[in-house]
Amino acid sequence: MKTTGTILSSILFSTSILTVSLLSTSVHAQKHVSIQTAESLIIFPERNASAQVVALNKSKVPAEISALLKKLVVNVGDEVQQGQLLAQLDCYNTQLLFSVEQAQLKVLASQLAFAQRELNRGNKLAKQNNIGEVELDRRQTKITEIQAQTLAQQSRFYLAEKNVSRCQIHAPFSGIVTKRHAAEGEMLVTGQSVVELLQLNDLQVSAKVSLNDQISFLAASRYIFSVDKQTYPLALRTLIPLIEKNTRSREARFNFVEQSAVVGSSGRLRWLSAQAHLPAHLLQSRQGKKGFFIFNEQRAQFIPVDSAEEGRPVPYTLDKKQLLIIEGRLGLLDGEKVSLMKQTIVTNTLRNSQ
C-alpha cells in the first residue's frame, strides 16, 4: 500500500511540474516589444527636385530694315532700360523714300481738293442746265479715284515713316547685353541679329516635380531654392498641367519673393510636406499589404497604408498618444498578444515624469 501511494504521489508531483513548465514555456513564448508614442515619431519630411533659374526673355534683337550699321552704342555686359538706344543705322535712302512718299501724299491731297472744287462748280452748272449728267458723273468718279489713291498712298507713307523709326534700334525690354552679333560698318539685312539681350527682372525658377511628389508639393506652404549654399524663398506661380513622358514629372514655375539668383543657376527646389509621416524603418509587409504595428490592449495591431512605399516615410496621421511598436515588430502577426520590454516601461515612465 505504501508503495502504491508513493507511486501515485510521484505521478501527481510530476504532472504539476509539467504543468508549471508548460505555463512557463507559454509565458516565455509571448513576444516582447518596445513602444513609442506617435508624437515622438511623427516627421514632416523634406522633398526636393532639380531646379534652374530662367529668364522670361532672352532675345536676339534684329534689324528690321536692310541698312548699314552706322554705330553700335552698347557693349557686352551693359545694362539697358526698355526703350534705350542700342544701335544706329545709316538710313539716308530710307529717309529719301519717306520724303518721296510724303510729297506724293501732298500731290494727291492737292488733286483731291481741285477735283472737289470741279464737282462743286459742276453741281452749280447742273442746276442751270449748263452741264450734262455724264460730265457730272465723270467729276464724281474722279474724286472717288483720287480718294482711293490717297488711301493707298497713306499706307506707303506710314510704312516709310515706320522704316525711318527703324533706323534706330531700341531695347524691347530692360536687361543686359550678353552678345554682339554685328559690327559697325556691316551691311545688315532685314531680320539679322544685332545684339543679344537678357532680361534681368521677373526671373523665374523652373523645377521638375515627380508625380510621386505632387501631392506633398501642392500641400506645402513654403518653397525654397538652394544653390551654392544660399537659399531663396519662392512663391509658386503655376504647376503646368502636362506630364513629361520621359521623366514622369510636371514643370513648376516660381517667382522670387525677395532677392533673385543669377540667371542659369542650377540648384534644388525644397519643400516640407504638410502631411504627417512616420519613419520609413517602421514599414512592414503583411499579406501583400504595407503598414506598421501599434500596441493596442496588449496586442499587436497591423495598420495598412495603401500609399506606403518601400524605403520612404509613411504618410499617415495618428493620435499623438497612440503607441507604436518599435522593437520586436519583425515577425509579428496582426492581433498577436505581446508584452512590453522592461526597458520600454522604464523609458516611458521617465518620459512621463519629465
- Cα torsion through 35, 38, 40, 44, rounded to 10: 140
Residue 234 class from Cβ within 10 Å (0-12 exposed, 13-18 middle, 19+ buried)? buried
Answer yes or no: is 306 within a domain: yes
The verdict on 156 and 216 lying in the same domain is no
The verdict on 65 and 195 lying in the same domain is yes
Answer yes or no: is 296 within a domain: yes
pLDDT at 245: 87
Residue ranges of alpha helices (H) inside 67-131 are 92-127
Place of cell 467729276: 139
pLDDT at 318: 86
- Count CB-CB contacts under 10 A for residue 30: 12
Helix (H) or strand (E) holding 347: helix 342-353
Q: How many domains does the chain have?
A: 4
Contact 74, 172 (CB under 8 A): no
Answer yes or no: is 4 within a domain: no
Last residue of a domain, one of 274, 305, 325: 274
The verdict on 226 and 137 lying in the same domain is no
Nearest of 240, 262, 264, 244 to residue 252 by alpha carbon: 240
Last residue of a domain, one of 148, 165, 182: 165
Contact 71, 90 (CB under 8 A): no
Answer yes or no: is 210 within a domain: yes
pLDDT (tens digit per residue) in 51-93: 999 999 999 999 999 999 999 999 999 999 999 999 999 999 9
Whichever domain contains 76, its CATH number is 2.40.50.100
Answer yes or no: is 1 within a domain: no
* Structural domain for 211, as ranges: 46-56+201-274
Whichever domain contains 333, its CATH number is 2.40.420
Q: What share of the chain is helix, strand, coil (3-state, %, to 5)?
A: 35, 35, 30
The verdict on 187 and 153 lying in the same domain is no
pLDDT at 29: 60
The verdict on 87 and 171 lying in the same domain is yes
The verdict on 235 and 176 lying in the same domain is no
The verdict on 194 and 229 lying in the same domain is no
pLDDT at 342: 67
- Cα torsion through 306, 311, 314, 315, rounded to 10: -80
pLDDT at 350: 34
The verdict on 97 and 158 lying in the same domain is yes
Q: Let me know the angle formed at the C-alpha of 30 by 24 and 34, rounded to the nearest 5 degrees.
A: 130
The verdict on 83 and 107 lying in the same domain is no
Last residue of a domain, one of 255, 274, 293: 274
The verdict on 122 and 247 lying in the same domain is no
Answer yes or no: is 346 within a domain: yes
String of DSSP letters for 137-200: HHHHHHHHHHHHHHHHHHHHHHHHHHHHHTTEEE-SSSEEEEEE---TTPEE-TT-EEEEEEE-
Answer yes or no: is 5 within a domain: no
The verdict on 72 and 176 lying in the same domain is yes
Per-residue pLDDT of the chain (354 residues; tens, 9 = 90+): 444 455 445 544 444 443 434 344 444 467 889 999 998 998 888 889 999 999 999 999 999 999 999 999 999 999 999 999 999 999 999 999 999 999 999 999 999 999 899 888 888 887 777 778 888 888 889 999 999 999 999 999 999 999 999 999 999 999 999 999 999 999 999 999 999 999 988 899 999 999 988 888 998 889 999 998 899 999 999 999 999 988 899 999 999 998 999 999 999 999 987 778 899 999 999 999 999 999 998 999 999 998 888 888 888 888 889 999 999 888 899 999 999 986 544 334 333 333
The verdict on 128 and 226 lying in the same domain is no
Answer yes or no: is 16 within a domain: no
